[in-house]
Amino acid sequence: MNGAQLKEHIERTWPGQASCRLDAEARVNEVTCEPGALAALCGDLFHERGLAFGGLVVEEGREDWQLRYVFYGARDSGWVHVRVTAPLAQSVFPSIAAQAKVFAADWHEREAEDLFGVHFEGHPRLGDFVLHDDVWQEDVQPMRRGFDAATAMNNRLPDADWRPRRVVHESGAFMMPVGPKFSGVTESVHFQLETVGEDVIRSWTRLFYKWRAVEKLAEGKPLEDALLLAERFAATTAFAHGLAFCQAIESIAGASVPARAQTLRVFLAELERLRQHAGAIQEICESTALVVATSQAGLLEEELLRVSGALAGHRYLFGLLAPGGLAADLPGDACRKALAQAAGAVARLDELEGELAISSSFLDRIEEVGVIFPRTAVAYSLVGPVARASNLARDLRRMQPYSRYDAFAFDVPVEEEGDGYARLRVLFAEARQSLRIMQQAAADLEAGEVRAAVTPRPGAALGWAEAPRGATLHWVRLDDAGRVARYRIVTPSFTNWHSFHLAAEKFAFQDFPIILSTFDLSAAENDR
């Protein structure tokens, strides 16, 4: 169903309760909906129309709450933004996770309740999500306009009796705590594995140990400083996040980025994807303790980091992006040199893949382990290699092409099994495709400017990118002074962490770190 058909369908099915405004060029359908019809409408879009749920943006207006549910489909369906409003005093909305069974919205609603105090009716698990109950009392609402950080921090009443919820009722069942400090070099995340012995019956993830309140911090900042935050909150995929932010700004300002900058942006984004995938492959090999493969993959990751550093001056590509294009030009020779080195790395990745495919002890540990079923991937709107390994062929570069991606030919590899090995195969295949794109980009580099002027003006827009871990959405609203008024980031890790517990269940403790490594999740990206 394309955008026009969607508009017609919505207005026909919910007359008087939902009205659409279609921006055909931007392929955005903005639906203004009554709270009463919200659950049914969202349920229809998600289940019946098969759109993906991108995220929930909550904004506190002067007098009302403005909630924006972002859905997206394939190219012609475009984006659907479902907007609901309610007076500030009346901050209750229906929970589409509970009432419309859009499970993908679950965590978005919990985050909104913790940070804004918006209540979602029917949701049974609100609270203790971002603000840990054993540190914060209820009703803190830090994202509200009137929030006074000093008072809040000095008057805290944590719950001294906080206990994790126990779900398993079996004699002898206990909870095995993992973290926040565990293993060797890992991010701070806490898991509770409920078990009666070796098999994990139920797994619970506690995130937001690394919550830095980036969305709050960005408010009031000028564009360049907000871009710093966008790059540095999840720096292993800094370029992708920075790109999504810049695209949001360019969309608000109506600026058009020069072709050379677009091509270079694609080149750099794919270089980052290649490097991040090499790192993910290294993590998977390390989790299975296959030392030589770990070293091989580690070599490749370091090489790609050095390639990035030599090309851009910073190993993680900080400081290259600017609203309107790139901050500085990259000479074509440097790009071609980087491309040659990347090609060598991919060739060795291919070799590594071949060697792993015949290592039965390695395969034993990741095949049929940590399975995400296709229906789960759809129900949770998973993104990235995790989704594509579970037969969900969603890639924003294909569905909603941005930058110059629609000028390049590439495949989106998809696997069906949804197990650890499928995810690994997707990583290897995507690395090859990244090289393919880089080769096309380097061959298609026309001379020209790399930066267009961007005058910030008030407005709001969604910027997006297919980061190495999956789709990321950056919603930016600029105020009259051209500063950031609201910055909402939906990250692929936030989306995928939601489903991780399902993959870990029914497997043994020893499989847990392996399953975790095959997901390539980042707590920094999730927590912001």
Q: Work out how close the CB of 364 gets to another protein at its nearest, in angstroms, rounded to a whole number.
A: 16
DSSP string across 380-422: TT--HHHHHTTT----HHHHS--TTGGGS-------SS-SHHH
Among 1, 49, 74, 211, binds another protein (CB under 8 A): 211
Residue 199 DSSP class: B
299 belongs to the binding site for another protein (CB under 8 A): yes
With CA atoms as reference, report the closest residue to 183 among 275, 278, 283, 280: 283
Among 9, 216, 336, 436, binds another protein (CB under 8 A): 216
Q: Return the number of other C-beta atoms located less than 10 Å from residue 221's C-beta.
A: 15
135 belongs to the binding site for another protein (CB under 8 A): yes
- Binding window for another protein (CB under 8 A); candidates: 8-16, 166-174, 386-394, 441-449: 166-174
Among 48, 76, 170, 350, binds another protein (CB under 8 A): 170
208 belongs to the binding site for another protein (CB under 8 A): yes
Q: Strands 484-490, 470-478: parallel, antiparallel or unpaired by DSSP?
A: antiparallel
Nearer to another protein, 295 or 455 (CB): 295
Q: How far lies 98's CA from each of 106, 109, 240, 377, in Å?
A: 8, 10, 32, 18
Nearer to another protein, 13 or 99 (CB): 99
With CA atoms as reference, report the closest residue to 500 among 363, 367, 387: 387
Q: Return the number of other C-beta atoms located less than 10 Å from residue 153's C-beta.
A: 11
Nearer to another protein, 64 or 355 (CB): 355
Contact 253, 455 (CB under 8 A): yes
260 belongs to the binding site for another protein (CB under 8 A): no
Nearer to another protein, 37 or 226 (CB): 226
Nearer to another protein, 28 or 96 (CB): 96
Among 61, 87, 254, 309, binds another protein (CB under 8 A): 309
Residues 430, 434, 440, 444: is their CA dihedral positive or negative?
A: positive
Structure tokens, 502? 């399902």
15 belongs to the binding site for another protein (CB under 8 A): no
Q: Work out how close the CB of 177 gets to another protein at its nearest, in angstroms, rounded to a whole number.
A: 5
Q: How many binding residues for another protein (CB under 8 A)? A: 104
307 belongs to the binding site for another protein (CB under 8 A): yes
Strand partners, 29: 22, 80
305 belongs to the binding site for another protein (CB under 8 A): yes
Among 30, 64, 225, 444, binds another protein (CB under 8 A): 225
| Residues 506-525 contacting another protein, CB under 8 A | 522-525
